Amino acid sequence: MRESTFSFWQDTEFNVLPSKPLTPTDYSYHASTGEEECWLWEAGSPDGCYLNVSFCVCNNEGKARLMVARPGRDVIVQEYTAHIKASTDHLDIQMAGSRIYQEGNDFYLEWRSEELRVDLVYKPLLPPWQPGQGRINYGEKGDKYLVWSVPIPRANISGKIIHKEHEESFYGEGMGEYLRYNFPLSQALGGALKGRFYSDSYTLLWADFWGNLLYSGKHVRAFYFAHDKDVLASTGNLEVQVLEQTTKDNLTYPAELSLEADITPLVRLDIEKTKAVGPPRLTVMGGSAILCIGEGKLTTATAPEKRASGRAFMETLIITRD
């Protein structure tokens, strides 16, 4: 049984209920009217190349976006709306020739445009995860809900990127998450912060969703902690402290923050020197998401003198309109 940090309304199904293993159906296309569903994948390489892709669907209309950022070069951002072709029993989303899908244990990204072609294979290092049963309920009897899960907590990634006929190989690491909700975000949310940290041997994932004034600004949080291939913790007992903020494109995101998870042993992650990557991503249901990359140091209570260094990736969701 996961320990609850917050039971407002009824059961949030996020930290109250036992963790439910994810199945391929859970993060496939649900095809529900009035929902926005998003599959958000990213990849980073040791040489500093960073790729982020989103496939989002709302009322049967799809929107795909891909960003590639490489040191010393212009950031490439491509996006379009298109009809979709999707499976409801396993992950397979197709839009205008681009595709994300799962075959066996592996996940695949194919992006097709006139100037850019991306082919990547994600080989997971850890099993899929969700906090509790992945759902936060808002409104009376949970008639408004938000579902968040991580089908790919960490993966080795390989493939190629072809831009204007110039081909480059890609080798790195990354993750993939899934988010869906059935209400305009401003009706319940004040904002959200989602992130991940990778060192040589540690993997941390976290999410912090907070309600708007109607929901007293209450936070619902989740934290995941793994060492190599062993999952050590899945809990809502997480404190997030933003120490400094910065602004880009009139949107504010953390420049320095710390996370502390009340588990045994106690875990603390300090993140600094964050930098926004590319322009914000707009959601259909009223949010702007800004991505940033930073440097992180992980400390455990059993070995406070040893600090594991790694990279942190974060997305700040800012509610932008009614």
pLDDT tens digits, the chain, 322 residues: what are they?
A: 343 333 344 456 787 666 778 999 999 999 888 999 999 999 999 999 999 999 999 988 899 999 999 998 999 999 999 999 999 999 999 999 999 999 999 999 999 999 999 999 999 999 999 998 899 988 776 788 999 999 999 999 999 999 998 999 999 999 999 999 999 999 999 999 999 999 999 999 999 999 998 888 889 999 999 999 999 999 999 999 999 999 988 889 999 999 999 998 899 999 999 999 989 988 877 889 999 999 999 998 887 778 899 999 999 999 876 5
Main-chain phi, psi angles of 15, to 5 degrees: -130, -5
Distance CA 168, CA 178 (A): 28
Q: Are 116 and 162 in contact (CB under 8 A)?
A: yes
Main-chain phi, psi angles of 216, to 5 degrees: 60, 20
Distance CA 132, CA 130 (A): 6
Determine if the pTM surpasses 0.85: yes
Distance CA 15, CA 131 (A): 6
Main-chain phi, psi angles of 213, to 5 degrees: -60, -35
CA-based nearest residue to 189, from 221, 211, 207, 219: 211
